[in-house]
Amino acid sequence: MLSNIIQIRLKVISMIVKNINNIIKLIFNCHFIYSKKAKICFFFFFLFSTILFLQGIITYFEVNNVIYFGGFLTNECNQKDFSFTFSTTTENGYTIFIDSFIFLNSCCNSTLLTFTDLNNPTLEYKIFNIFQEITLKYFFIQTRFRDSRITLEENNRPDNLFVSMGCFNNEKNCRTEIGDNQRPTVAFFKRGIHLFSNIDQHWWIVFHRNETLSYSPYILIDGTTNQTSTFHLQTNINVGDVEFSYLRYLFSGNEFTQIPTLQWDDDYTHKDLNVKVVCKRTISTSENALKRFFMISTSYDENLINESTLCGCVPNSNYIKDDNTTFNISDCRFNSSYFDLDLTKLTKDNNNNTDVNLLINKWYTPLVSNYQKYIFKSSLNEIYFEKLELQQNKSLIFEVNCIVNNLVITSTANYIFKHSLTINNIIMNNKNYSDSMLFKIQGLLNDNTNTLTVCGHRAVMKNHTETICMCMYVYNYYLYPSPLKGVAPLDCVNDKCTPSLILSINNNNYTLMSQTWEKIIFNIDNVTLLTSNQNFISTTYCDINSKVIVSGGFYIENVHLYQNAKIVVNNDGYLRLSHIYFDDIFDNNNQTGIIEIYGENGQIQ
């Protein structure tokens, strides 16, 4: 309804303006005509004055975080969050109308603001400026004319502001192309910006990086179709002499972003640079690839540059913060899930340990040094890696929930996950890992491929051997199976782990408090199971092919009795069997499976 009223008003004004000369002539000649026409003259004079008054107060206004053209200022339709001025200039002999907007510190009720002039019948340039700190994060611009220039000044523009130019809901009158001489202009000195469009905007970037910055601010040119741009590099911008340094970073883009044109000032002395894509990557959580654009010397060997040359981020501190102090290339902060986290240059303590505190928690993969332990920590709930490879000679400890999109298994690894691990995909070589502990996990394993399982703290294949999940009790100590290769998971004495482990007894006495195992195997004869104070040993499965003496509580869910099996329940012993399975067919002379009970208190159930 508001849109229809505005269009009617604009049509009336347009009609009057087109005939304004005739109206003025008529009023000027009023005193020459007969008095009976005086009323007609007065009517036209009043109408003309009214139209001029209305034309003066029809302006831009804001309602519900949208700035429109074509209304009257009221309490609801106001300019509280911006100031508006109208001016003219001459360009190539033509009069240019300019609408200037300055957003005030009261802006905005929301972090999102939309500007639309689709109802404005006059081609006007637009200049947007911000001099005070505001909370704006997302700015959407919809404009009508292909030759309407839009300028975004920097000054106090919010750092890393998202700016979208275009219409995405089939709005009428929205331009679908840009005049080559009227490209949208973006000033860039030290405040990052993310530019997005659904048509090729032919961006014009006035590029003059602040000389005092120790990092390169962020520019992302993004869109759903090809985006071309020109970077106007102003006089004496510092690009340094080191290839691939942060001073050579120009901007980032997606797969539709084209290599830009460099426009130099006439007195600029460093014009021997070309723009190259030094990284291009895709990830599972995004439809489009990400590109990194760097300025490279024309003398540099192009054969040494490809789309994987510089896909890493090197932090300058073990504390990886979400600000501009950790990385000297800012797209590491905003596009971290596309980049490798290179930790090889971080400091380590006297024990060769490196703590890594993450406040940026999404990365492509970590890069670490051999024979050095890295301990990942975070105050955030979880960390995410697009890819994590199990590698020999690497040592990683994760003290935070971890999500891995692609787990690459090329060997076993000295990795410890102290909290939960979620795996979306697994990529393996052809090696058989059924008798291997792949890594250690103390939290919950969520394997969406149903390839891995856990026994104790050991992450193993679903088709694993019994050996890899054993705790071998020998000489009154627990030993770990040889396939663990010295990496002790320390789970045999953990009551929370033993229900998924296999106890292999190679000792004549096994004395313990209450304990539960997945399975118990007796490897020698005359093993005495001893518990005290009403404690018990229980197991889901048990194979017996020798003499077992029960001097305490022994609960077996499923027992398999072989030919030489014999169970002796001593005084105060308690044996409970739920299901019994025999190895052979018995006759009267076969005494397999004999159970003897001694003393008044010995019991079997």
Q: What is the pLDDT of residues 73-83, one digit of tens each?
A: 566 667 888 99
Task: Tell me how crowded residue 548 is: count the other CB atoms within 10 A of its CB.
Answer: 24
Indicate if the pLDDT at residue 339 is higher than 80. Answer: yes
Q: With a cut of 70, say whether residue 346 has pLDDT above it.
A: yes
Which of the pair, 64 or 445, is modelled with greater confidence? Answer: 445
Tokens of 507: 């000792």
Mean pLDDT, range 391-415, rounded to an integer: 96
Strands, DSSP E only, in 158-215? 161-165, 185-188, 193-197, 203-207
Q: Are 248 and 279 in contact (CB under 8 A)?
A: no
Instruction: Answer yes or no: pTM beyond 0.75.
Output: yes
Return the pLDDT at 583: 73
Residue type, 469: C
- Average pLDDT of the residues in 531-553: 86
Structure token digits, residue 322:
């979400």
Q: Exposed, middle or buried: residue 312 (CB in 10 Å: 0-12, 13-18, 19+)?
A: middle
Tokens representing 159?
Answer: 């750092």
- What is the average per-residue pLDDT within 444-457? 97
User: Helix or strand or coil: residue 310?
Assistant: coil
Based on C-alpha coordinates, what's the Rg of the chain? Answer: 39
**Each residue of 122-174: pLDDT tens digit?**
889 999 999 999 999 999 999 999 999 999 999 999 999 999 999 999 899 99
Q: What's the pLDDT band for 7 if we cut at 50, 70, 90?
A: very low
With 60 as the cut, is the pLDDT of residue 591 above it? Answer: no
Which among 266, 237, 263 has a CA at the least distance from the CA of 249?
A: 237
* pLDDT for 71: 63
Q: Which residues pair with 162 in a beta bridge?
A: 138, 194
Q: For 421-435, write each residue's pLDDT tens digit.
A: 999 999 999 899 999
Are the CB atoms for 133 and 161 separated by under 8 Å? no
Mean pLDDT confidence for 410-416:
95
50 has a pLDDT exceeding 90: no
Q: What SS3 class is residue 499?
A: helix
| 26 or 458: which leads in pLDDT | 458
Q: Answer yes or no: is pLDDT of 453 > 90.
A: yes
Q: What is the pLDDT of residue 475?
A: 85
Cis peptide preceding 497, ω within 30 of 0: no
Q: What is the mean pLDDT of the chain?
A: 86
Please state which of the ranges 9-18, 420-429, 471-480 shows the lowest mean pLDDT: 9-18
- Sorting pLDDT into bands at 50, 70 and 90, what band is 574? confident
Banded model confidence at residue 364, pLDDT cuts 50, 70, 90: very high
Integer angstrom CA distances of residue 355 from 67, 384, 602: 49, 17, 56
Task: Measure the CA dihedral 478/481/487/488, to 10°.
Answer: -20
What's the pLDDT score for residue 265?
81
pLDDT band at 588 (very low <50, low <70, confident <90, very high): low
Q: Please, which pLDDT band fits residue 587 given cuts at 50, 70 and 90?
A: low
Instruction: Give residue-wise pLDDT tens across range 202-242.
Output: 999 999 877 788 999 999 999 999 999 999 988 678 888 89
Number of C-beta neighbours around residue 120 at 10 A: 22
Looking at the DSSP bridge assignments, the partners of residue 98 are 87, 125
Greater confidence (360 vs 550) lies with 360
For residue 73, the model assigns a pLDDT of 57
> What is the arithmetic mean of pLDDT over 460-481?
92
Cα dihedral 580→584→587→591 (10° resolution): -70
Strand 458-461: give its sheet, edge to edge. Answer: 319-320, 353-358, 373-377, 395-398, 414-417, 439-441, 458-461, 452-455
Report the C-alpha gap between 269 and 271 in whole angstroms: 6
What is the torsion angle, in degrees rounded to the nearest 10, for the CA atoms of residue 6, residue 94, residue 178 and residue 111? -50
Please report the pLDDT score of residue 29 as a whole number: 44
Give the residue, 586 or 284, on which the prediction is more confident.
Answer: 284
Average pLDDT over residues 41-50: 47
CA dihedral 128, 132, 138, 140 (to 10 degrees): -20
Strand, helix or coil for residue 592:
coil
The confidence band for 72, taking pLDDT boundaries of 50, 70 and 90, is low
Inform me whether the pLDDT recorded for 11 exceeds 50. no
Count of Cβ atoms closer than 10 Å to residue 592 Cβ: 16
Residue 176 in this model has a pLDDT that exceeds 80: yes
Mind listing the pLDDT tens digit for each residue in 482-539? 777 656 788 999 999 999 999 999 888 887 778 899 999 998 888 888 777 677 899 9
Asked whether residue 84 carries a pLDDT value surpassing 70, the answer given is yes
pLDDT for 27:
41
307-337 tens-digit pLDDT: 999 999 999 999 999 999 999 999 999 999 9
